[in-house]
Amino acid sequence: MAKLISGKAVSAALRTQIREETAALRENHGIHPGLAVVLVGNDPASQIYVRNKQKACEEVGFRAFEYRLNENSTQEQLLDLIRVLNKDDKVHGILVQLPLPKHIDEQTVILTIAPEKDVDAFHPMNVGRIMIGNYEFLPCTPAGVMELIDSTGVDLNGANCVVVGRSNIVGKPMAMLLLHRNATVTICHSRTRNLAEVCAGADILVSAVGKPHFIRADMIKDGAVVIDVGMNHDENGKLCGDVEFAEVEPKASYITPVPGGVGPMTITMLLKNTLHAAKLMNHLDD
């Protein structure tokens, strides 16, 4: 039987630490970390994410600034808003909720965010810095996965890690972070041959595919650590990950549940990046 890795518990401990550091920053230096969240349009899932991010900010003592633009706003209007936020001293982090309406180019928007306020770490400058291992911000989901792996105490040095998925926001940076920790990393995707066999060689398997029931027992090495990034809905509309939990769990040594695994970590890492941005901007880098 695998031990469950509780994203809720790891996340709660980190948020307590962030709240304490925020209180100290305000008291000792008069700095009040602020996150600006920009939402364009009325996508219901995005509205929930934005609300959760704001709530999380308030809970740790940050300022949360919310900007809502309607669905028909032009790209230039969004860029103008970002340029104003780039110059606003009260704003330390800027997050533009994705996806954007089709008439707005995501890359142009990301490029307009000042790299030192890019708390999602999507700006090419921050992506490049991750590549060379000299970074200030890590993308939230992969950074959260690293915290979960570290909470198990498992040694990454020389470990065989398999990441299934190669997206820019999860799979690729995930692989890079594991590599920085001296793991031997394999990245799999939809063209990978013998996927089950490759996965079955993993000491640590991270799945970021986006398909329910995707990772099955025959893809798991006995005693593997299994991290499920997937956030999907099954045939009954129930939230589920990529991993067929009931059959994989008996073979794994540690496993993340969905919900309550990677999910809660993403916002926590966003808070961590915002706090770091506030310190950096005030030359209090740790």
Does 167 participate in binding ligand NDP (rule CB under 6 A)? Answer: yes
Residues 24-63 that bind ligand NDP (CB under 6 A): none
Residue closer to ligand NDP by CB (options 24, 239) is 239
- CA-CA distance, 257 to 127, in Å (whole number)? 28
Does 266 participate in binding ligand NDP (rule CB under 6 A)? Answer: yes
Q: Which of 90, 64, 89, 25 is nearest to 285 (CA)?
A: 25
Counts of helices then strands in the chain (DSSP H, E): 10, 11
Residue type present at position 103: H
Residue closer to ligand NDP by CB (options 29, 216) is 216
Residue type present at position 246: A
Q: Which of 62, 64, 181, 168 is nearest to 123 (CA)?
A: 168
- CA-CA distance, 260 to 195, in Å (whole number)? 27
Residues 183-212 that bind ligand NDP (CB under 6 A): 188-192, 195, 208-210
Residue closer to ligand NDP by CB (options 6, 167) is 167
User: What is the C-alpha radius of gyration for the chain, rounded to an integer number of angstroms?
Assistant: 19
Residue 34 · residue 275 · CB < 8 Å = no
- Residues 227-264 as b or e (16 or more Cβ within 10 Å = b): bbbbbbeeeeeeebbbbbbeebbebbbbbbbbeebbbb
Binds ligand NDP by CB under 6 A, chosen from 169, 179, 200, 217: 169
Binds ligand NDP by CB under 6 A, chosen from 86, 152, 184, 232: 232
Q: Which of 170, 199, 173 is nearest to 186 (CA)?
A: 199
Count of residues in contact with ligand NDP, rule CB under 6 A? 24
Query: x/- contact string, 84-123, with ligand NDP (CB under 6 A)?
Result: ----------------------------------------
> Residue 179: in which H helix or E strand, if any?
helix 171-180
The pair of three-digit structure tokens given for residue 166, joined into one six-digit string: 């190669």
Residue 28 · residue 70 · CB < 8 Å = no
Q: Is 97 a catalytic residue?
A: yes
Minimum distance, C-beta of residue 214 to ligand NDP, in the bound complex (Å) = 7
Distance from the Cα of residue 70 to its chain's centroid = 26
Minimum distance, C-beta of residue 264 to ligand NDP, in the bound complex (Å) = 8
Minimum distance, C-beta of residue 230 to ligand NDP, in the bound complex (Å) = 4
Minimum distance, C-beta of residue 170 to ligand NDP, in the bound complex (Å) = 4
Residue closer to ligand NDP by CB (options 25, 227) is 227
Q: Is 120 a catalytic residue?
A: yes
Does 165 participate in binding ligand NDP (rule CB under 6 A)? Answer: yes
Query: x/- contact string, 235-264, with ligand NDP (CB under 6 A)?
Result: ---------------------------xx-
Any idea which residues carry the catalytic annotation? 53, 97, 120
Binding site for ligand NDP (CB under 6 A): 141, 164-167, 169-171, 188-192, 195, 208-210, 229-232, 262-263, 266
